[in-house]
Amino acid sequence: MKTAGINLDALGLYDLRTDFINDELKQLVIRCITEQKKAAQQKYEKFVPDNNSLAELSQEKLQGLLGAKQDIHGIATNRSISNVITFGEAKLEGTIINPEVESTRRTVDAKLSDKLQDIFAHDRRLSIVPSGHFWYPAGAYMGWHTNSRVPGWRIYINYAEEGGKSFFRYKHHQTGEIVTLWDEEWNMRVFRVTGTDPLWHCVYSNTNRFSLGYMVKIPAGNSGVIGKLKKMFA
């Protein structure tokens, strides 16, 4: 039995198993993905892979950004760092707004919000709200960024149609090492965003990869680890 209960005051990135997401919920996510594919079919047919994407995700690229003292929040402010297909982001040009996708996503979000509570050690219910909703076709990427404009915990659950063909890459906040986490079929990464200790990260895919993002809003008065660590991930 693996014990989980992330300190809300901690830093770093956690690459967690998704065993606690049951088959019924996974099938609901797959249904949402199917609706995404249908809604974005025309955009997908026009999708052009970026042959320079891996260079944009290199250590050299990041060193250049750090040397220039740049802070890239994400595609909300720097759409040019990514060629992903986005859903439900009204402020992003070209995003897909589709009632069926949005309806299923709301159902997924409500069920996952209950499940994701147990990732953290806390003594009251956390507010876990949706953020990014992305489709990475083969050849898609998201360049180095920090999400620094919106501090707090981030959770990304992703499904890759083929394992070993996509990855999440980040700069370790203590060692400075560039770490590449290759995707399996289902993956979940959890990390904390701060304005003073940014976690630089990026994504690449050479398969269809679908990502559901969430932000954690901590209730006032919750200072971190309060209560017992919870057990999960058998």
Radius of gyration of the chain (CA): 17
pLDDT beyond 90 at 72 = yes
What residues contact 49, with CB distance under 8 A and at least 6 apart?
Answer: 83, 137, 138, 139, 140
Please give the model's pTM, rounded to 2 decimal places.
Answer: 0.90
Q: Give the range of the structural domain holding residue 110, as residue numbers without chain letter.
A: 3-231
Write the CATH number for 136. Answer: 2.60.120
pLDDT beyond 90 at 215 = yes
Q: Count how many domains the chain has.
A: 1
Percent above pLDDT 70 for the chain? 91
pLDDT beyond 70 at 219 = no
Strand order in the sheet with 152-160: 13-16, 186-193, 152-160, 209-217, 127-136, 85-86
